[in-house]
Amino acid sequence: MLKHLLLLLTAFLLAAGCGQRPSEPLEINLDDTDIGELQISSETINEIIQNIASPIEVPALIQELNVPYSNQYLADPETISGSTNSTDMAYALGALCADLGYLNVYNRTGEASNFLSGIKQLADALEIGQFFDHATLNRLAETGSDPDSLMFLSVNSFNNMDDHLRENGRGELSSMLVAGVWVEGLYLSTQVAKQNSNEELTAMIGEQKLILNDLLLILNHYQDDETIAGYIKDLETLKSVFDEVKITYEVGRPQTIERDGMIIVVQSESSHVDMSDETLQKIIGITEQVRNMHLNIKA
Q: What is the pLDDT of residues 128-138, one digit of tens each?
A: 999 998 999 98
Predicted confidence (pLDDT) at residue 207 exceeds the cutoff of 70 = yes
pLDDT at position 7 is 35
Q: What is the pLDDT of residues 50-59, one digit of tens each?
A: 777 688 889 9
Q: What is the pLDDT of residues 64-106, one digit of tens each?
A: 999 999 999 999 998 886 667 999 999 999 999 999 999 999 9
The rounded distance, in Å, linking the Cα atoms of 44 and 48 is: 6
pLDDT at position 33 is 43
pLDDT at position 287 is 97
Predicted confidence (pLDDT) at residue 175 exceeds the cutoff of 50 = yes
Q: Name the average pLDDT for the chain.
A: 82
Q: What is the mean pLDDT of residues 239-268?
A: 82
Q: What is the mean pLDDT of residues 233-257?
A: 89
Name the band, by pLDDT with cuts 50, 70 and 90, for residue 253: confident
Predicted confidence (pLDDT) at residue 280 exceeds the cutoff of 90 = yes
Q: What is the mean pLDDT of residues 10-28?
A: 34
pLDDT at position 23 is 33
